[in-house]
Amino acid sequence: MDTRRVEIQFRHLPPSDAIKEAVRRFFNKLNGLPCSVERCSVRLASERAEPLCGGPYFVHVEVELQGQELAIDQASDVDVYVALLNALRDMHEMVRAAGSKRRCAA
C-alpha cells in the first residue's frame, strides 16, 4: 500500500491507531476493485474541543479515481467508529458503482 495516497486527519479528536488501521484496510479493499484509486482522504471531527465529551462526530471521505472525485459525509451521535464505518461502507458502494459505470461506458 502506498501510504502517500492515504491521508487521515483528526480535528478535536486524539489520533487513533485503530481508526488509522480501519482506513488502511478500506484503502486496500478499494485497490481490489476494477478502478484506479489515486488518493483517499478521511477527516474525522468532533464539534467539541474536548475529545472526551462525546459526539456528535463527523466523517468526511474523499476518494479520487482517475478523472473523478467522490465525496461523502457521515455523522453519528453515538461513536466516531460508527460514523467512520458507515462512511467507508457507503464510499465503497460509490466506488464500486463508479467502476461499473466506467466498464459499461468503455
Give the fold, CATH level 3, of 3-105: Double Stranded RNA Binding Domain (3.30.160)
Reported confidence tier of residue 4, pLDDT bands at 50, 70, 90:
low
Average pLDDT over residues 76-95: 89
- Taking the C-alpha atoms of residue 66 and residue 76, their distance in angstroms, rounded to an integer, is 30
Where exactly are the structural domains of the chain?
A: 3-105
Write out pLDDT tens, residues 34-76: 778 889 999 999 887 665 666 788 999 999 988 889 999 988 8
Three-state SS for 14? Answer: coil
pLDDT at 105 over 50: no
Average pLDDT over residues 19-23: 93
- Three-class SS string for 43-80? EEEECCCCHHHCCCEEEEEEEEECCEEEEEEEEECCCH
What residue type is 74 in one-letter code?
Answer: Q
pLDDT at 104 over 50: no
